């Protein structure tokens, strides 16, 4: 006798082979690829256009490395500060397989800012940038910037969002974590990695994530802030006077 199958039974029968297919299960387990050009809908070209001009807010200028000319100002725009520099790879923070005393001669296990659980951040896994320590040149704290402040970092058409995770020498600027360099496609070896130039750092004022280590929140907040930055600055870049 012919017994018609119910639609739900037929659907389950058709889906069963796919659910049991090891290849499909393996594909689902693979990490999703991130966009190569930018993280979210804000284009690198638009952000770079908005920071073409610089009105310095720093009293002096920074060096990119020890012994190089002091020619990098911190610039002001509505809702943010920015600078254009190189990128040295920072491996400081909680030690791991990549960032430790063996792989990085200048490694230190401490960072100025810590995670919500009190531990030092991991340069291997957390995209963070380094701001210069407060000095007569510039004091980031006066601009509402500190641990967990959100930044957009741009290099060769890519936009990645990071947090302020550490402070560095008072006279040098242009440094970010191993994870940040890797996300931007920059050579990230602790000893020899980095970019000699062409990196733009936009740090949003009075805008922090509740948990410094929350990468998802950083990406979402970063894109929101970048959109607002473009609305407020348009193509005028830093030509609008900074509000202190």
Q: How confident is the model at residue 133 (pLDDT cuts 50, 70, 90)?
A: very high
pLDDT surpasses 60 at 49:
yes
Q: Cβ distance 195 to 86 under 8 Å? A: yes
Average pLDDT for 21-46: 51
* 7-20 vs 22-29: helix crossing angle, rounded to 10: 70
pLDDT at residue 74 above 90?
A: yes
| pLDDT of 163 | 98
User: According to the model, what pLDDT value does residue 104 have?
Assistant: 92
Mean pLDDT, the chain, whole residue set = 85
Q: What is the DSSP code string of the chain?
A: ---PPPHHHHHHHHHHHHHH-HHHHHHHHSPPPPPSS-SSS--HHHHHHHTSS--B-SSS-BBSSTTS---B--EEETTEEEEEEEEEEE--SS--SSSSTTT-TT--S--SSB-TTSPBP-TTT--EEEEEPS-SS--GGGGT--TTEEEEEEETTEEEEEEEEEEE-TTB--EEEHHHHHHTT----TTT--EEEEEEEEEEEEEE-SSTT-HHHHHHHHHHHHHHHHHHHTT-GGGSPPP-
User: What is the average per-residue pLDDT within 185-213?
Assistant: 94
Percentage of the chain lying above the pLDDT 90 cut: 75
Whether 130 has a pLDDT exceeding 90, the answer reads yes
- Asked whether residue 236 carries a pLDDT value surpassing 50, the answer given is no
Check pLDDT > 80 for residue 36. Answer: no
């Amino acid at each position: 006798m012919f017994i018609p199958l119910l639609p739900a039974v037929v659907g389950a029968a058709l889906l069963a082979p796919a659910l049991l297919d090891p290849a499909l299960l393996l594909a689902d387990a693979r990490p999703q690829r991130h966009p190569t050009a930018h993280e979210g809908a804000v284009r690198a070209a638009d952000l770079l256009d908005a920071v073409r001009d610089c009105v310095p807010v720093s009293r002096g200028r920074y060096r990119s490395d020890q012994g190089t000319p002091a020619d990098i100002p911190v610039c002001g725009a509505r809702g943010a500060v920015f600078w254009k520099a190189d990128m040295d790879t920072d491996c400081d923070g909680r030690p791991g397989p990549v960032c430790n005393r063996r792989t990085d001669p200048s490694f230190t296990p401490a960072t100025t800012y810590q995670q919500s659980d009190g531990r030092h951040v991991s340069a291997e896994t957390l995209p963070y940038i380094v701001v210069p320590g407060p000095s007569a040149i510039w004091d980031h704290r006066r601009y509402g910037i500190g641990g967990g402040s959100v930044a957009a970092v741009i290099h060769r058409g890519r936009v990645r969002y990071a947090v302020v995770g550490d402070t560095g020498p008072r006279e040098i600027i242009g440094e970010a974590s191993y994870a940040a360099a890797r996300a931007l496609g920059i050579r990230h070896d602790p000893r020899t990695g980095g970019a000699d130039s062409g990196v733009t750092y936009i740090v949003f004022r009075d805008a922090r994530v509740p948990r410094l280590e929350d990468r998802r929140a950083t990406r979402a907040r970063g894109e929101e802030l970048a959109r607002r930055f473009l609305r407020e600055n348009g193509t005028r870049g830093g030509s609008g006077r900074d509000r202190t």
